Structure 1
Amino acid sequence: MQIQVGIVGAGPAGLMLSHLLHQHGVDSVVIDTRSREEIEGTIRAGVLEQSSVDLMTETGVGDRVRQLGMVHEGIELRFCGRGHRIDFTDLTGGRGVTIYPQHEVLKDLIAKRLADGGDIRFGVSGVQVKGITGDAPTIGFTQDGVEQELTCGLVAGCDGSRTMTRYLIPSPEPRQDHFRQYPFAWFGILAEAPRSSDELIYAHHRNGFALISTRSATVQRHYLQVEPNDNVHDWSDDRIWQELRTRVDGAEIKEGPIFSKSVLPFRSFVCEPMQHGRLFLAGDAAHTVPPTGAKGMNLAIADVHVLSRAMTRFFAAGVRTALDAYTDTALPRVWRAQHFSWWMTSMLHRMPEASGFDLNRQIAELDTVTRSRAGRTLLAENYVGTPFD
């Protein structure tokens, strides 16, 4: 089968890329080893920047985001028993973020692609990508017991943090992998409870970080900083609620039955370059950020916003200029997001063997940021995200 763009991975990057290409008349096939049910059923939190919501709305996949998403116009930084609000609306000229889970974004994109006649192959196996340095790379796979092959003009590696496409770029040259593993993890829960707060609370405490978040009016998502080797069975419901109350230090926490517990490792990663021959990486296949800055899904959308326009120009006029510049165009935003995520993480989390000096230095930094309009603006502008253009 001849196709203009073969896309490996039906996550946010791959599905959004296929959707944006379709808007410009470029055909694509998306393949994924997971079933549609697995993809739509993987429960993940989601904070959408203003630019991500705007792009979804402009391209016809924003109806449910507007209807069901919760617009947040600020966050609270809490330390030393006091809350300090970062007012996004005031500090960024009216911009904000929307709380909308990643799996709901995937449902929206899958439904739209199928309604538009898009070709998504779920549950394939034996994926092999070959010939990326030639003029006609191929993607081979097996579907329903039948071996198939796509001959592509271009290939997009959008297969997430467990990628295989990234390793098609030779290492150590030209591929350079920048990696940092953090010495802690997040313990995440989903609970049937009313909202504890109208906006997210980021809490610094000597016991460790806590995040009071939300999923809906009746389901809440909260996180605690824990050791990387902690097990969900180590944490009873009573222990979880007690530790959350301790760490938010005076803020009200509304409790309810906990129906999901998970331990999330913390890491930062960037692959450079994000392209090789006719292969182009996007989303978690190219980079991973700690969730503290709420940048993961937004970076994936930003990547494919750049990549879709470059691919469109290539197929419309045979011009590779924008394609060749893809890495140079996308990477500055990636590194800004890495810095912001690292900054939020280092400012709010207790580091192993932290001394009184370290804890008081963090408090001084939080105090500096929240007292200063310039500090609050720096945080707000990075959190809501800069426009894609």
Structure 2
Amino acid sequence: MRTQVAIIGGGPAGLLLGQLLHRCGIDAVVIERKTRDHVLSRIRAGVLETGFVRLMEEAGVADRLHERGLVHHGTRIAAHGRSFRVDFSDLTGMPVVVYGQTEVTRDLYDAREAAGLATEFRAEGVAIHGADTGNPHVTFSRDGTEFRVDCDFVAGCDGFHGISRQTIPLSARTEYEKTYPFGWLGILSRTPPVDHELIYAASDRGFALCSMRNANLSRYYIQCALSDHPEDWSDAAFWDELKRRLPEDVADRMVTGPSIEKSIAPLRSLVTEPMQWGRLFLCGDAAHIVPPTGAKGLNLAASDVHYLHRGLARFYETGDAEGIDRYSEQALLQVWKAERFSWWFSGLLHRYPDMAPFDLKMQQAEIAFLRDNRAQQRAFAENYVGLPY
């Protein structure tokens, strides 16, 4: 088969890119290793920056987001029994929207199917060929049959474990990585959220986060050891530990219940440079990983998609290759700013195992400075709602 852009990965980054390209009249095939149902079963965060919402609007798939998304005009930060609120709308004129990644992906799949666009599911053994030439192609198999997709460009949106990043020779890429000495234990419960906005909490016992998916579905996290396993934590033990890390007024009004999902995610930062090699472009987790503190992962993928689809649209419309030639340069400017914010916010709230008394005092002073200084709050809010593309 022949297409203009072969997109590897049927998650939100690949689907959003495909939808935006379709709106520009550019043909793209999405190649996904799993089934649609499997992709939609993944539980992921869903705090959407203004830029992401605007891209969904541009893609023509924002109706349900606007109907069901929870608009948050600020967030609450708690530390050592005290808390304060950072007002995003007052400081930046923009909110964020809580709308689950699963719902984003569902909307994009529905739009893709309604438009009759090609999606190749259950694609095994995906391989990218000739990315450093003018004639790349992608091969895969399904049920014993081999397939080949000839294309002009390949967009690698297949995540950290995908083939796209590995296709770039080690001699042509550099990876910058930081592994954090803790993880997040998270549970999903059919309980009303403890607050109408997110609460980030620092305590002597470690970090905690109170989040939500909707008015009846809550998502909570606590910092845990990397050696922990989900089965080590009963629901009762989780709720007890969570409450210990929150201000008393928050803990007292929390509604608890059985968990319907429980998992542990390690925290890491990783950036691959460059994000392109010949006619292969990396998007989202294929190029970078951020800690979940501040919810930048999905939003950073959208930033990549913005630069790539604009570059491709310009190329096909006018023949001007500047946008695709500068894709990596432009995308990495946003990537490193988001990495910095996630690194800083993680350091502000987590208890590191090697922290000396001086380090603890500095962390407390940093939180106090954020609480008391409007300029610092504005900088925080600007990063949280999303820096402009």
- Sort the TM-score into its range (normalised by shorter chain): over 0.9
Match of 2:374 in 1: 373
Matches within 5 A, 1:328-347: 328-347=329-348
Match of 2:178 in 1: 180
Match of 1:155 in 2: 154
- Deviation, 1:118, is 1.0
CA contact (8 A) 2:126 2:163 kept: no
Query: Whole-Å Cα distance in 1 between the matches of residues 166 and 192 of structure 2?
Result: 45
- Deviation, 1:234, is 1.2
Q: Structure 2: give runs of 5+ residues left out of the alignment.
A: none
- Deviation, 1:192, is 1.6
**2:35 maps to 1:38:** no
CA contact (8 A) 2:45 2:295 kept: no
Query: Whole-Å Cα distance in 1 between the matches of residues 117 and 350 of structure 2?
Result: 43
Matches within 5 A, 1:9-88: 9-88=9-88
Query: Whole-Å Cα distance in 1 between the matches of residues 193 and 11 of structure 2?
Result: 29
Match of 2:296 in 1: 295
Matches within 5 A, 1:240-259: 240-250=238-248, 251-252=250-251, 253-259=254-260
Query: Whole-Å Cα distance in 2 between the matches of residues 46 and 161 of structure 1?
Result: 19
Letter in 2 for 1:316: E
Letter in 2 for 1:145: G
- Deviation, 1:174, is 2.4
Query: Whole-Å Cα distance in 1 between the matches of residues 236 and 362 of structure 2?
Result: 32
CA contact (8 A) 2:20 2:58 kept: no
Match of 2:307 in 1: 306
The two structures, once aligned, show a CA RMSD in angstroms of 1.1
Letter in 2 for 1:343: W
Match of 1:232 in 2: 230
Match of 2:123 in 1: 124
Give 3-state SS (helix, strand or coil) of 1:248's partner. Answer: coil
CA contact (8 A) 1:283 1:300 kept: yes
Query: Whole-Å Cα distance in 1 between the matches of residues 88 and 273 of structure 2?
Result: 32
Query: Whole-Å Cα distance in 1 between the matches of residues 327 and 310 of structure 2?
Result: 10
Letter in 2 for 1:265: P
Query: Whole-Å Cα distance in 2 between the matches of residues 215 and 13 of structure 1?
Result: 20
| Aligned pairs, number | 386
Between the aligned residues of both structures, percent identity stands at 47
Pick which of 49-58 and 35-44 moved more: 49-58
| CA displacement 1:195-227 (0-9 Å, x = unmatched) | 201110000001100001111111100000000
CA contact (8 A) 2:83 2:247 kept: no
Query: Whole-Å Cα distance in 2 between the matches of residues 318 and 53 of structure 1?
Result: 29
- Deviation, 1:163, is 1.9
Match of 1:109 in 2: 108
Letter in 1 for 2:102: H
Query: Whole-Å Cα distance in 2 between the matches of residues 38 and 163 of structure 1?
Result: 16
CA contact (8 A) 1:206 1:359 kept: no
Query: Whole-Å Cα distance in 2 between the matches of residues 126 and 2 of structure 1?
Result: 19
- Deviation, 1:307, is 0.3
Give 3-state SS (helix, strand or coil) of 1:292's partner. Answer: coil
Query: Whole-Å Cα distance in 2 between the matches of residues 19 and 192 of structure 1?
Result: 32
- Deviation, 1:78, is 0.2
| CA displacement 1:1-52 (0-9 Å, x = unmatched) | 1210001001111111111100110001000111111001111121100111
Query: Whole-Å Cα distance in 1 between the matches of residues 350 and 238 of structure 2?
Result: 17
Letter in 1 for 2:105: L
**2:218 maps to 1:217:** no
Match of 2:195 in 1: 197
Q: Structure 1: give runs of 5+ residues left out of the alignment.
A: none
Query: Whole-Å Cα distance in 1 between the matches of residues 310 and 387 of structure 2?
Result: 18
- Deviation, 1:325, is 0.5
| CA displacement 1:170-198 (0-9 Å, x = unmatched) | 21x32010111100000000112112011
Query: Whole-Å Cα distance in 1 between the matches of residues 137 and 107 of structure 2?
Result: 28
- Deviation, 1:302, is 1.0
Give 3-state SS (helix, strand or coil) of 2:151's partner. Answer: strand
Match of 1:260 in 2: 261
- Deviation, 1:145, is 2.8
Query: Whole-Å Cα distance in 2 between the matches of residues 192 and 113 of structure 1?
Result: 31
**Structure 1 segments (4+ residues) deviating >3 Å:** none
TM-score normalised over the length of structure 1? 0.97
Query: Whole-Å Cα distance in 2 between the matches of residues 64 and 355 of structure 1?
Result: 48
CA contact (8 A) 2:80 2:204 kept: no
Query: Whole-Å Cα distance in 1 between the matches of residues 357 and 74 of structure 2?
Result: 30
**2:135 maps to 1:136:** yes
